[in-house]
Amino acid sequence: MTRETVLSNARIVLEDRILDGTLVLRDGLIADISEGSSATGEDMEGDFLIPGLVELHTDHLEAHYSPRPGVRWGLTAAIQAHDAQVVTSGITTVFDCLRMGSDEDGGFEKGEMRAMASAIAEAQAEDRLRAEHLIHLRCEVSTDNVLEHYEEFENDPMVRLVSLMDHAPGQRQFQTLEQYILYYKKKRGLTDDEFDAFCKRQQDLSARYAKPHRDAIAASCAARNISVASHDDATLEHVEEAIGYGIRLAEFPTSFEAAKASHGAGMSVLMGAPNIVRGKSHSGNIAARDLANMGVLDVLSSDYVPFSLMHAPFILADEGMDLTKAIAMVSTTPARTVGLDDRGAIAKGLRADLVRVRRPSGVPVVRSVWRQGKRVA
């Protein structure tokens, strides 16, 4: 049976322009786009219709699963709470980040993230979830057990993105000890001697494990056709290394030099939408707005605040960026970066993943969400 929906009197955000017109959705796909209003269908009252947002990097599920230190919430309940928040933020495709590798600084035990992934798949099969959930494995390559954790996902088709990370002091995100002291010493309440010993252990682990683990995971991803992301690249040497690994996504570069080189090499440069909303990085690194002004920002991620992915593009548009380009950073470009060519834009034949947005001023309001033509919010 054919399922058809008509959405009329909308400001439709296409890839190259904004069209005042009507959309026809049929059997989960965009069937027609026309200028002007229709005598039939649902009146969008002049609101924006934009593509469903595609989120490549969010740690938000962790906050529901482990809402307090030492607390573990029920898997299905945590996943559904996370799903409800991302969908009402306009996100119709979400890559849930699962941490691979744990050390004395924390993380999850072997088997925990595997159980989480299985619960996501089960919830999806039972039609409990409104967004489509895929998996992004965040691999801490300097830990001794990252390969053990990664091996639990070797046959999981939901894994579509893997990032290679090293958070040891003196590396990437923490090039200076000032940043590391703030993030680890003060947060953990370490004495000077305890902090020095902690830093040395982390640096020794990185020196021993980072390269062989990067090599092994990158090779596995190449064999499985999984997109790979670098993380917190800071130098031209880091970018050259990423090129050698066939990296497609440069997550959170920490220097203008690395961001510019990554973009020039054909990688999509990703920064946090909260960075745009706040006007600065929470860890003291470069501001995403500056990369946008340089023309080397390609993708935004909500990171730790789901609604920031909807809010940030409108802030960029207020500051002079064309709205179609800003929306592409949270829809078209992330989808294409990871090979999801069936979504991320409003065009005939693509999935009818759509968001109705009203934005008289300030913070936008999500009024309705459709995934594959079905109203989900």
List the chain domain ranges: 52-341
* pLDDT for position 197: 76
DSSP string over 101-165: --BTTB---TTHHHHHHHHHHHHHHTT--SSEEEEEEEEETTSTTHHHHHHTTTT-TTEEEEEEE
Give CA separation, 256 vs 82, 101, 236, in Å: 33, 29, 10
Q: How far is CA 183 from the centre of its chain?
A: 22
The number of residues making up the chain comes to 377
Query: 96 - beta bridge partners?
Result: 58, 135
Q: What is the pLDDT of residues 12-37, one digit of tens each?
A: 999 999 999 999 999 999 999 999 99
Distance CA 277, CA 137 (A): 26
CATH code of the region 52-341: 3.20.20.140
For 259-326, what is the HEC assignment? HHHHHHCCCEEEEEHHHHHHCCCCCCCCCHHHHHHHCCCCEEECECCCCHHHHHHHHHHHCCCCHHHH
* pLDDT for position 297: 97
Residue 365 main-chain phi, psi, to 5 deg: -120, 125
Distance CA 24, CA 10 (A): 12
Q: Hey, what are 158's tokens?
A: 């939901």
Q: Hey, what are 73's tokens?
A: 């919430």
Distance CA 306, CA 277 (A): 12
* pLDDT for position 65: 94
Distance CA 352, CA 144 (A): 44
Place of tokens 């005939």: 348
Torsional sign, CA 314, 317, 322, 326? negative
- Those residues of the chain that have pLDDT short of 50 are none
* pLDDT for position 191: 76
Please give the torsion angle defined by the CA atoms of residues 248, 252, 256 and 258, in that order, rounded to the nearest 10 degrees: -40
* pLDDT for position 203: 80
Distance CA 287, CA 48 (A): 28
User: Do β-strands 4-13 and 48-51 pair in parallel, antiparallel, or remain unpaired?
Assistant: parallel
* pLDDT for position 70: 84
Residue 99 main-chain phi, psi, to 5 deg: -80, 130
Q: How far is CA 174 from the centre of its chain?
A: 21
